Structure 1
Amino acid sequence: MSESAQAADPVAYIQHHLTNWSTSQPKSIADFNVLHLDVIIFSALLGGLLIFIAKKIGENLSLDNPSKLQSVAEMVVEFVNDQIKNVFPHPDKLIGPLALTVFVWVLAMNAMDLLPVDLLPSLWTGILGLFGADPSHVYLKVVPTTNLDTTLGLALCVFVLILAYNFKSKGPMGYLKMFLFHPFGKFFIPVNIVMTTIEELAKPLSLGLRLFGNLFAGELVFLLIALLTLGAGFSFGLFIWFPMQVLLDLAWLLFHLLVITLQAFIFMVLTIVYLGMADATADDH
């Protein structure tokens, strides 16, 4: 389908924007033979950018005359530490760096949603068009967290850490006893196994699906707003719809700033909470 046809077909426009640049088209929801190249590239670039910024801050640390960037970094670190103190039962060398990494990386990936929806995809289409690529087959999703693979991948990493903390604090037999005797005691072992398994699996699923759902919905709203003037020529109607589009975009962008920050915060806090629940000393709380 050509670009002009896409402009005349809102459904095709939305479907095109919601399709990843992949090694091949997925045959199912869980197709492990497909790599989403845009997800990998943007996630890695944002992670590399954060590492570069952190390195620069570390090289120029100053107690007497801190830079604005250092001051912002110190505020973020202090904010994350406050959340850990409120939730995690005791000091831990891993939790601080992990929580900080989760918060800033998820926030950076979410923030890509603030770019105009057609900016990078149009540039990418234009570049590949110089080499004769068909625009209708050029895809690019710039927000990694609008892809379920990203959010569930992050949640799976947290789940592996939950298992590690359970084994570390309770031991293999202690973790097994939790499945056998929680929450209804030794006379309901089959029910306990089912309930505890559901409870444990719900943790990574809730983490991944919550982040994906909120960011995917936000991206979809931006696309719907873009449809107001999609394919519109120079006419009187354009003078009516374009100002409305600008106002709606601005209003949703301001609201979405809260959403992307809140979702990064929730993902970080739930990660700390789940790891704290896995720690043995959390049993007393």
Structure 2
Amino acid sequence: MSEPTSSGGLNEYISHHLTHNTGEVLGGAFHFDSWIVALVLGLVFITWFGLYARKATSGVPTKGQAFVEIVVEFIDGQVKDTYHGDRRSITPLALTIFMWVVFMNTMDLLPLDLPGWLIQTFAGHEVAHHTYARMVPTADLNTTAALSVSVFFILIGHALAAKGGLGFGKELLTAPFHAHGFMAVVMAPVNLGMNIIEWLVKPVSLAMRLFGNMYGGELVFMLIAGLMASWVTFAPGIIANAAWAIFHILIILLQAFIFMILTVVYIAGAREGH
């Protein structure tokens, strides 16, 4: 991939790094880079935690097992404080969301030109120059939207499991403005509209919050790379890059935690009545 000092300058450099490796699937554009990276990271998480779960012992744990236990206990504690029902299926979901999003967010700490350097090393400069590869799946709105839509259907499933189809339908028509008699009929469309908005806002807010923070962080790294392209600003660029990377670690963890905890809060709300 091109450097900021190439003929197109910083604008071309940023444009190149913001372009996805896209192909056509079922008549629509499909971002293969986001999908492949997210899939690989998901499999890494499953393999890592799965192996330690199978090798877990009641004796003195290894450092690896101790770390996994700390993470699981932390997530379970957060779920316990937020969700007061049977959490045997909620904690694994929360753990998966948190670790998967952390893994995807952490890709933002990789050097921007690492994919281009690898492609250039193994396939040549021309191939690298015309090959696009974005390494941060959560900086792709398609990824965060897919995660949020999945959470949305999980919420619907919990609402139906807790209230039944009739109970859930009744709640959509009678809450939040409870009325009786003729006024109940009058307020039903208003209640339905309010509930539809409330339900749709949840996945939209989840997707946009995660995407906005990670896209913005990725863009800042690209702008800092422009500073590092000149000998005059190279040293300040190194300092700025290190400072932003350290601060970005907080964003990486915080955004994963927010996505996870809001999912649990939404599940708890879906199972409770208005």
Length-normalised TM-score, structure 1: 0.88
Number of aligned residue pairs = 268
Structure 2, unpaired ranges of 5+: 179-183
Q: Confirm or deny that 1:112 pairs with 2:107.
A: yes
**What is the CA RMSD across the aligned residues, in angstroms?**
2.2
The superposition leaves residues 152-210 of structure 1 with CA deviations (integer Å, 9 ceiling, x where unpaired) of: 10001100011111111111111112221111122422221211111000000011110
Q: 1:33: how far off?
A: 1.4
Q: CA deviation at 1:248?
A: 0.4
Tell me the equivalent position of 2:156: 163
Q: 2:227: which partner in 1?
A: 228
For 1:233-244, what aligned pairs fall within 5 Å after superposition? 238=231, 240-244=232-236
User: Aligned pair in 2 of structure 1 residues 5, 111: CA closer, same or farther (>3 Å)?
Assistant: closer
* Cα drift, residue 126 of structure 1: 3.9
Residue 283 of structure 1 corresponds to: 273
Q: C-alpha distance in 1, partners of 2:234/2:101?
A: 32
Cα distance change of structure 1 residues 4 and 154 upon mapping to structure 2, 3 Å threshold: closer
Structure 2 counterparts to residues 4-153 of structure 1, below 5 A = 6=6, 8-24=8-24, 33-129=28-124, 133=127, 135-153=128-146
* Partner Cα separation in structure 2 for residue 150 and residue 224 of structure 1: 23
- 1:228 counterpart letter in structure 2: L
1:129 CA drift (Å): 2.3
Distance 1:3 1:92, change over 3 A: closer
Give the structure-2-normalised TM-score. Answer: 0.91
* Letter in structure 1 aligned against 2:58: L
- Structure 1 residues not aligned, in runs of 5+: 233-237
Please point out which of 178, 182, 187 is paired with 2:175.
Answer: 182
Identity %: 40
2:2 touches 2:13 (CA, 8 Å); kept in 1? no
The DSSP-based 3-state class of the residue aligned with 1:283 is: coil
**Separation in structure 2 between the aligned mates of residue 119 and residue 2 of structure 1, nearest angstrom:** 11
| SS of 2:74 mapped into structure 1 | helix
How many Å separate the matches in 1 of 2:53 and 2:4? 50
- Which residue number in structure 2 is paired with residue 194 of structure 1? 193
Q: Which moved more, 1:34-43 or 1:219-228?
A: 34-43
Shift of 1:95: 0.5
Distance 1:6 1:243 in 2: 20
Segment of structure 1 superposing worse, 47-56 or 244-253? 47-56
* Structure 2 equivalent of residue 204 of structure 1: 203
Question: Is the contact between residue 125 and residue 138 of structure 1 (CA under 8 Å) also seen in structure 2?
Answer: no
1:3 positional shift: 6.2
- 2:5 and 2:166 map into 1 onto residues whose CA distance is 62
Counterpart of 2:245?
253
CA distance in 1, matches of 2:83, 2:70: 20
Q: Is the 8 A contact 1:121 1:141 kept in 2?
A: no
Contact 1:87 1:273 in 2 (8 A): yes
Alpha carbons 2:83, 2:264 under 8 Å: kept: yes
Using the alignment, how far apart are the partners of 1:161 and 1:4 within structure 2? 44
Q: Distance in 1 between matches of 2:168 and 2:146?
A: 24
Is the alpha carbon distance of 1:32 and 1:96 closer, same or farther for their aligned partners in structure 2, counting shifts above 3 Å?
A: farther
Q: Is the 8 A contact 2:4 2:226 kept in 1?
A: no
Contact 1:21 1:139 in 2 (8 A): yes
* Contact 1:159/1:203 (8 A) holds in 2: yes
CA deviation after TM superposition for structure 1 residue 117, in Å: 1.3
SS in 2 for 1:34: strand
1:270 lines up with 2:265 in the alignment = no
